[in-house]
Structure 1
Amino acid sequence: MGLGQLYNRQWIKGVLFLAIGVLGWYFFITDLAESIRGLITLGDQAGGLVKVGKQFKRVEGDHSVYLMIEGLIAFIVMGIIAFLYTLNVKDASQTGKLRDAGKDIYSFRQTLTNVNEKYFPFIILFLPIIVTIFLTVLPLVFSILIAFTNFGGNNLPPGKLVDWTGFKTFLNLVQLKTWSRTFAGVLSWTLIWAVIATVTTYFAGILVALLIEQPRVRLKKLWRTVLIIPFAIPNLVSLLVMRNLFNNQFGPINDYLRMFGLQGLPWLTDPFWAKITVILVNMWIGIPVSMILVCGVLTTIPRDMYEAAEVDGANPFQKFKNITMPFVLFATAPILIMQFAGNINNFNVIFLLTNGDPVNPKYQYAGSTDLLITWLYKLTLNNQEYNFASALGIIIFVMIATFSIYNFRKTKSFKEEDMIQ
């Protein structure tokens, strides 16, 4: 690295590339090679107490998780060095072609000027890209790799070493009865919840927007302001208040039901009613969002289309079906897809309202209202089942990415944008 520039008599550039190459080889020999080996083996000796004679001596062993992180960092550094080496070869090749053609080669100052003119955006973006790789890509890859190990439960470093297990964690999710029952139950409820939560908030938002936009309705701004308040209040506050309102013992809602001679309902302690409760509360929070979006779309629909439909004898339902709804769907279909994907990962409503409860004795570390995302949270922070949590994270990502990409490409707004491009 750098010898091509020295051969072409570009001394400063050659020395710089040579220094980078020498440093790269030095770090590879002294550190990077060992770090990559640690990523492959995940350690040779576990830490702990070893009996020496009549006494126990603490031995500092390998920490598999640290070795995995160091190995990933080593791969990233090697990738950066390989990228610089590619630039070095390309630069030497281009300079050699100029010499063969009998043209003058760039001096170091001319090279800097040329790079600044042609590649200034890339130079500015280089540092943010490096930071993104280390702070975003590295943790993402690390969390994915955890799913292919036995890191979790009683197998925690430094007391024990972590081993690569391939797809065993994913197989256990569907083969072991305790895990497969929980996975199937939580997955089915997650999909049911996502569909119901999306449909109810979306179409109820359309209904509210249509009612507000009726010509005979006065004080439209006031109604919009009042109905947007649930969205304006932070979800944390709203959900904690709702949790107290629906409390079975001292909640005001059950108190009012008893005042009318009715029995209080087990809003948060019965599995069925707990699911009904989270759906109702989600409607309270989500309808204002859809209402505002649809109100904006309704203002863009040309009035002459409605007038022409009235001349043709169309009734209100036909105007809604053939004019209003196509316009609304065209403008909000991508947002509808995003809402469905967001409801699959709707952590706040479930965790803050029910904490995934009531407890289900047939489930492994999950409650009756837990979604995949809240189950993942419990597996990670409460039970230290990191490999199963990582596997769930991968499954959630594949589900959402597949659904979102497929359905977004099917929307008319995407197809028309693609035709324009």
Structure 2
Amino acid sequence: MDIVNLDLIEAIKGLVKAKKVDEKIVFDALEMVLLTAYKKETGSNAKSSVTLNRETGDYHIYEEKMVVEEIDPDSENAVNEISVEDAKKIDKSYEAGDMLRIEVTPKNFGRVAAQTAKQVMIQKLREAERGSIYDEFSGREGDVITGTVKWSESRTIFVDLGRVEGILPYAEQIEGEEFHPNDKIKCYVLEVRKTTKGPEIILSRTHPGLLKRLFELEVPEIYSGTVEIKSVVREAGSRSKIAVYAMDPKVDPVGACVGPKGQRVQNIVNELHDEKIDIVRWDEDPAVYIANALSPAKVISVSVWEEEKSSYVIVPDYQLSLAIGKAGQNARLAAKLTNWKIDIKSETQAKEEGFGQAAEEEDDDILGDIEAGGEAEEETKE
């Protein structure tokens, strides 16, 4: 019996293991290749099948025939029929209506089949590997992945992720960051696309999800669910704000994120190349939450209008520029974090607009609520 090239079988098994693709997919494809090669070689249109020993490469090709009393040569199905007379030459027990399986493996066919199979198998292995890679990475969208910078072209950075290269587009890079070949880099898996050339892994260094995932990795209390991240906003490379909350009043969510001597948040700051991070305490009271969100600025009072989702914040005169931030950044990020419109006024401005007395009445309540998280939040800025 002809043998499919044993080296081909061994090569397929080796590649299947190395590329982590489904062996069944590859060998099923090889059987189809053998069947196609047989039909091309013989010109047969009969129903046929192939069995392949996936250890030795030994294969057999069969044609399936229906036993009939007499074959009608003009019938379209004649090629799939055999007369009772001919069937009984094979085995006397055959009767009309039986299905007969005849081996039709051509002699000296193994060499031709192996040559054809090699060409097709290379393509099938590539397709299977692409499918395997896509399945692996499509489930990691929204996750953080560590890779090695390979090279860059037209300001796009290509990252070695092991079995595939990731793409870090210029638009997803933090302004001012520089990476060189062989640098380790953590990225957010933004999107996994299917393309004709295989899966395309789009990475990001600017997505708020990167900051969230880094905190989940760095802070055990977040990973365990003791501390919950409520909201994250970023102006990548410059400043971020993250709101955290703990159901257990005994747990300080801000302190947990800051870590002993500020080490946890500092590790994340280092990873993001000195991006400033404000960790604030989330609160169900929007006035308290807004005051916290304006950290590191101190707040005198916050008035809120639920229907309009707007607020009027009063800060000490000397804190106004800090509350608003450079080019309005602090106020802008606080508004995005809380999803509230925030109108910030100094104490003097508020009195001129008639809000001064209200500010004095609310002063103690607001300051008392934000005091607990204030020191930890400031520590992140030092």
Larger Rg: 2
TM-score by length of 1: 0.17
TM-score by length of 2: 0.19
Task: Tell me: higher relative CO, structure 1 or 2? Use CA pairs within 8 A at least 6 residues apart.
Answer: 1
Structure number having the greater strand percentage: 2
